[in-house]
Amino acid sequence: MHEITILGLGYVGLTMAACLAEQGIKTTGVDLDKEKIATINAGKSPIHEPRLEEFISKALKAGTFKATSDLENSLRTSNITFVTVGTPSLPDGSISLEYVRSAAESIGRTLNRTQNYHLVVVRSTVIPGTCLEVVKPILEKASGKVCGKDFGLCSNPEFLKEGSAVQDMMRPDRVVIGENDRRSGDTLQDFYHQLYEREMPRLIRTSLANAELIKYANNAFLASKVSFINSLAHLCEKTPQADVEVIAEAIGLDPRIGPLFLKAGLGWGGSCFPKDLKAILAYAREQNIELPIIDAAIRINEIQPIWSVRKAKEALGELKGKRIALLGLAFKPDTDDIREAVSIRIIQRLLQEGSFVSAYDPAAMENTRKLFGKKIVFADSAQKCIQDADCCILITEWQEFKRLTPEDFRIRMHEPILIDGRRLYNHEEYSGKLNYYAIGLGSCASTS
Ligand SMILES: NC(=O)c1ccc[n+]([C@@H]2O[C@H](COP(=O)([O-])OP(=O)(O)OC[C@H]3O[C@@H](n4cnc5c(N)ncnc54)[C@H](O)[C@@H]3O)[C@@H](O)[C@H]2O)c1
C-alpha cells in the first residue's frame, strides 16, 4: 500500500489529498500556511468546492488524513510525494518557479536523511524542461542521491476543473505519467491502480517533457475554442436572425469539433487559462517560435468582458451615475475563485465610467471584497442586488440565477435592462418582457 505526501494544499493539492484519503489511502497534506492547516484539521475547507468539506471531515474521522507543516515527518512515513504548489505568472508572462524550487529543496534535504526509495511527482503546471533541468538537479544536490536509482521523479499534470474538482479527481478522463525512468513510471502507475482499481482511466506513459507540454497544449486548445466562438458571437450580433447558440450546437455535432467549450460568453478567467496561455507563449518566444493562434485567443479574451459594458452604455445612453447590478463574480459557477475573473475587468470599467455598482455572488463576495472594499455594494441576495438598478449584467451562470423570472427583474429594477453575458436565459421568453441583450444574438433571432 502506498502512503502519500501532498505538498501544497491549494485547489489541486487539497482536493487530491481529500479524495485519496476518502478512498482509504493514508495521506498527509503539507503546507506552509499554518492558518490553512488549522482550518483543514478542524474539518473545514478553506475553498468553496462541492463535496470537498464532506470528504475532508470523513477522512479526518477515519484517520486517513491530516494536514501539517512538518514535511520531514510526513516524507519519512510516505513513499510518494506529490508537489502541488502554485506556479504564478511573472510580468513577462513566464511562470515563477520559486515555490517549485523551494519545495524541491525541502524534499531533497529530507531525502538526504531517509533510507527508502521515494518517488517525487510534480503535479503543478510547469513549462517543458522544468522537471529535468530544474527539479532533478535541485533534488540530487540537496539529497546527495541519484535520481533514477535512489529516488524517482515523474511529471503528472492535473486536469481538474474548479467547481467539479472532486468529481474530476475521482473520475479523470486520463492519467498522464511523464517518467524520468521506468521504475518511477511503474511506481506511479501502481499507485493509480490502487486508487482507481477496476475503473482505471486511460493511461499515457511518456517523457517528462511530453507530460509537461500536454498540459499546456490541452489548456491552450480549450481556451482557443472558447475565443473562437466568442469572436463568432460578435458576427452573429451583426447578422439578422443569427444566433451563436444554434451555430455552436450544430457545429458541435461534428465529431471532429465536439460540443464542449463552444459556449459564447464574457470570456475565460480563473487561475489556469490566462496563466497557462501566457506561459506557453513566453516559452515559445524563448525558442523563437510564434504561436499566433494562442496570441489571438488571448487578445480576443482581453476585450470580451467589455462587450457587456458597451451594451449597458448603448441601452442607457451614459453610465455615469447609473446603478448597475452584477449577478455573479466568480470566474465560473460553483467556486469562490475570482483569480483573473472577468467580473474584475467589468467592475473596474464601470467604476471608471462613474457608475454605482451592486453585486451578488453565492460564494465569491468575500474574495471580491478584498479587492474592491467599499467601492462597490455587496447585496445578500440576487433580488436585493437588482433592486432599483438601471441595468443588470449577468456575469457568472450560477444555477440559482436561473430562477429569476422576467417579472422579478421588472418589479425590482428601475429600468428592466438585462444583459445576459452567459446566455443563461431563454431569449424568446425574456426579450418579449424585458429590454434583453444576449451575447451572440442577432436581431429577430427566433426558432419559429
Ligand atoms: N486551480 C486549478 O484549477 C488547477 C488545475 C490544474 C492545475 N493547476 C496547477 O496546479 C498548481 C497549484 O494550483 P492551485 O490552484 O492549487 O494553487 P494555490 O495557489 O491554490 O495553492 C498552492 C498552495 O501551495 C502552498 N505552498 C507554496 N509553497 C509551498 C511549500 N514550499 N511547501 C508547502 N506548501 C507550499 C501555498 O501555501 C498554497 O496553499 C499550479 O501550478 C496550477 O497551475 C491548477
DSSP characters for 78-116? -SEEEE----PBPTTSPBP-HHHHHHHHHHHHHHTT--S
- Least Cα distance to 226 among 165, 301, 299, 276 occurs for 301
Is 272 in the active site? yes
Q: Is the CB of 83 under 6 A from ligand 1?
A: no
Which pLDDT does position 443 carry in this prediction?
82
Q: Is the CB of 162 under 6 A from ligand 1?
A: yes
Q: How far is the CA of 425 from the centre of ligand 1 (A)?
A: 35
Confidence of residue 445 (pLDDT cuts 50, 70, 90): low
pLDDT in tens, 349-405: 999 999 999 999 999 999 999 999 999 999 999 999 999 999 999 999 999 999 999
pLDDT in tens, 127-173: 999 999 999 999 999 999 999 999 999 999 999 998 999 999 999 99
Which pLDDT does position 444 carry in this prediction?
65
**Catalytic position from the list 154, 272, 385, 392:** 272
Which pLDDT does position 256 carry in this prediction?
98
What pTM was computed for the model?
0.94
Q: Is the CB of 27 under 6 A from ligand 1?
A: no
Which atom belonging to ligand 1 lies closest to the Cα atom of 13? 16
What count of other Cβ atoms lies within 10 Å of the Cβ of residue 346? 25
pLDDT in tens, 160-211: 998 999 999 999 999 999 999 999 999 999 999 999 998 999 999 999 999 9
CB 108 within 8 A of CB 83: no
Q: Is the CB of 31 under 6 A from ligand 1?
A: yes
Q: Which three cell numbers stand for residue 301?
A: 479574451
79 burial via Cβ count (<10 Å: 0-12, 13-18, 19+):
middle
Which pLDDT does position 447 carry in this prediction?
46
- What mean pLDDT value characterizes the chain? 96
Q: How far is the CA of 125 from the centre of ligand 1 (A)?
A: 9
Ligand 1 test: best mutation among 36, 45, 158, most atoms within 8 Å of CB?
Answer: 158
Domains parsed from the chain with CATH numbers: 4-216 (3.40.50.720), 237-438 (3.40.50.720)
Q: Which three cell numbers stand for residue 140?
A: 540530487
Which pLDDT does position 1 carry in this prediction?
87
Question: Widest CA span of the chain, in angstroms?
Answer: 74
In total, the chain counts a number of residues equal to 448
Of all protein residues, whose CA lies closest to atom 21 belonging to ligand 1?
10
CB 120 within 8 A of CB 107: yes
Distance CA 113, CA 103 (A): 16
> Percent of the chain scored above 70 by pLDDT?
99
Q: Is the CB of 163 under 6 A from ligand 1?
A: no
Which pLDDT does position 448 carry in this prediction?
40
Which atom belonging to ligand 1 lies closest to the Cα atom of 124? 41
Which pLDDT does position 446 carry in this prediction?
53
- Half-sphere exposure (Cβ direction) of 429: Cα atoms closer than 13 Å: 10
User: Across residues 255-284, what is the average pLDDT?
Assistant: 97
Distance CA 200, CA 140 (A): 32
Q: Is the CB of 49 under 6 A from ligand 1?
A: no
Q: Is the CB of 89 under 6 A from ligand 1?
A: no
Q: How far is the CA of 88 from the centre of ligand 1 (A)?
A: 9
Which atom belonging to ligand 1 lies closest to the Cα atom of 125? 41
Of all protein residues, whose CA lies closest to atom 31 belonging to ligand 1?
103
